[in-house]
Amino acid sequence: MYSVPRFYPTFDIMRIKTIPFPALNAESCMEFSTEHDKIAVNELGECFDFDTDVCTMSGSDAVCQGDNIKWQRRPITCAQSLAISRSVFLPSICYKTMRIVTCKGQAYLRQLGKFFIYSPYADDIISSCEDQSYNGKIVWGLNVIPSTECQLKTTDLAIPPPIHFSSNRERIENIFSPSLPEDMNLLFSKLDSIHGINLSK
């Protein structure tokens, strides 16, 4: 049995997922530092890193031990800033924690009915359904593929079709423009420096 004070606000648990993006050469990528991928956020913009070691799940709800969480009145990490942000602009703390890495391979995320795929090289993509398949191409950099009920396969990835469920609490905001991949890839190709990061090291 749990005793929850009435004045405690309800927090939504948000999962943060990012993909790399191109650096100045094809062998390097930029990544955001997101130490915790689950962030609890309330309507006041307060947040904490969600941890199942101190939060007990009951169905789709969680009750967290208040003494064992670090409840922030404002975000202090990139992941927390992304969780509470409603802006199309990247929070400034994320620029400070970006890092340049060697490209390990392709990565993807599914958002807003689309697949966002980062690839460090041009590649083929196959859409496989039960009775038919289609072949296509992806370019080096960021690619946006319309959602499909089929499985997608590239050299590195096997992306399953979406699982459909309904939720009356789902809140997804469309912040992407249709020309995002071309705009982002063009921007990355023209950068000489990214907020003070020395790409030669």
pLDDT band at 196 (very low <50, low <70, confident <90, very high): very low
Strand partners, 56: 63
Pick the CATH number of 9-103 from 2.40.128, 3.30.160, 2.60.40, 2.40.490: 2.40.490
Structure tokens at 105: 């391979």
pLDDT in tens, 135-152: 889 998 889 888 778 889
- Structure pTM? 0.63
Strand partners, 64: 55
pLDDT in tens, 69-109: 888 888 888 888 888 887 777 788 888 888 888 888 899 98
| Phi, psi dihedrals of residue 180, rounded to the nearest 5° | -55, -50
Domain boundary assignment for the chain: 9-103, 105-164+174-194
pLDDT band at 177 (very low <50, low <70, confident <90, very high): very low
Rounded Cα gap, residues 89 and 105, in angstroms: 26
Residues 6+ apart with CB under 8 A from 191: 24
Strand partners, 63: 56
